[in-house]
Structures are given as structure tokens and as C-alpha cells.
């Protein structure tokens, strides 16, 4: 008899080495990185041709891919509200270490991504975990930038002059809708919550060359088609406080759109998170401290900073308890 998919799950990290990466995925987030200074991304939950997550905890599900779980237990994994909407797990969760500037880029919406690259669209949000003094985030074209102006700047490799930028602080949350020209600057580590997509059109790469000594490919025609020229500058969102049962805890709404919702918790006491009605899954991203995540039937998982936990819909709500003296900080993510 197959066990019910009602336990918290942790997956093996999928590490991506890209020339703009560094070593902070290991130093700050505890990832098991090898030699080299180019560890750029850690895909925590992914169901994509470029990376599919494999369960490492608990033991009864170890070795199963997230695609296996979705195929064999769709309602238990996704929940009653989402089962009929998705045949692919809908969110991709990752950490990024920008040791160098990322390329200036833009992501397509669903329709354009499916037509041009056979992928989903890519709406995403970033939560800044670490930012060195002077680092910058580039998000949204400056007011009044036209298609013709961007086209010319791409030819002249001067796109950065047209993009709004700011110096971020740890804790900032920025939502990047599809069609927004953007880049993450050097010195920043983020948690990224996005649609399950790897569709990216590179607009400008700062004149950089790849490992083969040649410039990396740009996607100028696709980028022009994908860019929303009505978008304008993008700035950090203002967190919205939410009342909590315990005065020792802080709960904030961070980012909400059609594709995901993100809340932040700062816990000094236990809190119940997730959907008791089993309507949808919940993802917990631990950004500081150590948590014990307990399901109602007694299954526990310990998760430390840099760990992502998937709560299948069948688990309902879970009890999250902080360990040690540090305030436990985490992001709670779901699909509306």
C-alpha cells in the first residue's frame, strides 16, 4: 500500500555554475558546493527540463522526483484548488548569488514564451538576503523609454543607462512581472520565487565574454517583443503587517500576483502555517535560524537557514517551531 503524501518534503539542491556566480551559496546558505568561484544558483524546487528536484527527506519518499509525485499523487501534492489547473508543478524556488552583475534581461509572458521557446512565462519575485554596500538592482525602464530608444541602446550596448536602479537592503522584496527589463547587480544574494520557467531573453551583458572567450548570446529581437514599455520603474514593495496569534511573532504580506503569494514570518514562538482545508500546497523557505516543521500525524522535519520545505496539500497545516536563540525567519509561498 502506498503511503499518503502528507509529510513535509525536502529536495536535493540543484546547483548551477554560471560565470557570474560566487561561493556565498555555501558560505551564507550552507549549500554543499565544490571547488570554483562560479556557483550562481541553487534550484530548491524545480519541475523543468533544465532541472527536476529529487526528494531527500523523508526516507519513504527519497529518490522520487517532483514530476513522479505530481503524476502519481496530483491531488495530494497540489490540492483541491489546483489539481485541475496544473500538469507541471507551478513554482520554481531558487537562491542566487550574484558575485558579478547578471546580464540585463527580460522574461516573456505565457503566450510569448510558448510561441518562441516552448516554455512557460516568467513572473518572479526576489527577496534580498544579503547586499553589499554599493550593490544595485536594476528593475524597470526609466519613465518615457520607447521601443526605438531601447532598440538603439541594445545596438550600442548602453541599455543600463535606460534602466531604473536602486541600492537594495537585506529584506527588500521586489516583484518583477513578465515584460520588465531587469538585472541583479554584483554583491547581492536573493531568494527567488517564480513561475516554473527558464525563459530568459538577454538584452545586454555588460560587454562580457563567456568561458570560451566569446560574447554570450543576446536575444535582441525577442527582448524587444517581450518588453512591456508601459511598465516603468520598479521599486521594493512595502510589507503589509498581518495580526498574529502570538505577540512574539511577526507576519507580513510581501508580494501577491496571479501566480504566487509570498508572506514573511519572524518567529520566536510556534506558529501554524499552511492550508488546513488541503486546498493547496505551501512552500517554506528558511532564511535565518532553525525550524522544526511538524505535520498533524507526527512527521517532523528539521530545516535550517538555506533549506526549502514543501508542504503537500494533503498535509494540511503544519506547526513550525523555532530552535535555539535566534529568531526564525522564513518565507511562506503558495499559488492563489
Q: Residue ranges of the domains in the chain?
A: 9-226, 240-334
Tell if the pTM clears 0.75, that is, is over it.
Answer: yes
Q: Are 56 and 63 in contact (CB under 8 A)?
A: no
Q: What pLDDT score does 59 carry?
A: 93
Q: Do domains 9-226 and 240-334 have the same CATH topology?
A: yes
323 closest CA partner among 296, 298, 305: 305
The CATH number that domain 240-334 falls under is 2.60.120.10
Q: Can you name the CATH fold of 9-226?
A: Jelly Rolls (2.60.120)
Exposed e or buried b per residue across 296-325, where buried means at least 16 C-beta atoms within 10 angstroms of its C-beta: eeeeebebebbbbbbbbbbbbbbebbbeee
| 10-residue mean pLDDT series, the chain (336 residues) | 82 97 97 96 98 96 97 97 97 98 98 98 98 98 98 95 98 98 98 98 93 91 97 97 96 98 98 97 98 88 97 96 93 98
3-class DSSP state for residue 199?
coil
Q: How far apart are CA 232 and CA 255, in angstroms?
A: 18
pLDDT at residue 279 in the model? 98
pLDDT score for 32: 96
Alpha helices by DSSP H, listed for the chain, are 24-27, 66-72, 74-78, 110-116, 147-156, 220-226
Residue 45: CB atoms within 10 Å: 27
Contact (CB, 8 A) for 310 and 9: yes
Give the model's pLDDT for residue 298.
72
Using the structure block, give the residue that is written with the C-alpha cell 514564451: 113
Taking the C-alpha atoms of residue 138 and residue 129, their distance in angstroms, rounded to an integer, is: 17
CA distance 21 to 213: 17
Amino acid at each position: 500500500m502506498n503511503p499518503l503524501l502528507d509529510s513535509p518534503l525536502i529536495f536535493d539542491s540543484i546547483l548551477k555554475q554560471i560565470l557570474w556566480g560566487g561561493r556565498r551559496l555555501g558560505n551564507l546558505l550552507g549549500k554543499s558546493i565544490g571547488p570554483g568561484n562560479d556557483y550562481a544558483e541553487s534550484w530548491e524546487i524545480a519541475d523543468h527540463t533544465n532541472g527536476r528536484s529529487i526528494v531527500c527527506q523523508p526516507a519513504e519518499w527519497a529518490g522520487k522526483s517532483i514530476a513522479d509525485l505530481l503524476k502519481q499523487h496530483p491531488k495530494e501534492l497540489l490540492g483541491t484548488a489546483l489539481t485541475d489547473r496544473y500538469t507541471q508543478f507551478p513554482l520554481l524556488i531558487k537562491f542566487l548569488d550574484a558575485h558579478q552583475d547578471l546580464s540585463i534581461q527580460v522574461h516573456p509572458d505565457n503566450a510569448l514564451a510558448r510561441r518562441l521557446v516552448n516554455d512557460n512565462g516568467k513572473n518572479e519575485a526576489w527577496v534580498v538576503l544579503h547586499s553589499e554596500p554599493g550593490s544595485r538592482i536594476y528593475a524597470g525602464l526609466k519613465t518615457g523609454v520607447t521601443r526605438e530608444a531601447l532598440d538603439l541602446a541594445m545596438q550600442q550596448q548602453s541599455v543600463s543607462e535606460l534602466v531604473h536602479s536602486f541600492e537594495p537592503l537585506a529584506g527588500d522584496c521586489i516583484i518583477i512581472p513578465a515584460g520588465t527589463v531587469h538585472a541583479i547587480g554584483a554583491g547581492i544574494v536573493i531568494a527567488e520565487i517564480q513561475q516554473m520557467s527558464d525563459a530568459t531573453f538577454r538584452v545586454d551583458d555588460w560587454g562580457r565574454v563567456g568561458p570560451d572567450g566569446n560574447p554570450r548570446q543576446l536575444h535582441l529581437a525577442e527582448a524587444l517583443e517581450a518588453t512591456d514599455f508601459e511598465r516603468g520603474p520598479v521599486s521594493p514593495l512595502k510589507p503589509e503587517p498581518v495580526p498574529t496569534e502570538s505577540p512574539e511573532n511577526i507576519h507580513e504580506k510581501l508580494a501577491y500576483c496571479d501566480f504566487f503569494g509570498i508572506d514573511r514570518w519572524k518567529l520566536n514562538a510556534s506558529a501554524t502555517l499552511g492550508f488546513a482545508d488541503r486546498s493547496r500546497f505551501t512552500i517554506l523557505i528558511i532564511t535565518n535560524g532553525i525550524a522544526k516543521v511538524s505535520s498533524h500525524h507526527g512527521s517532523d522535519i528539521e530545516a535550517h537557514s538555506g533549506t526549502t520545505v514543501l508542504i503537500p496539500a494533503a498535509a494540511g497545516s503544519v506547526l513550525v517551531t523555532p530552535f535555539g536563540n535566534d529568531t526564525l525567519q522564513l518565507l511562506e509561498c503558495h499559488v492563489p
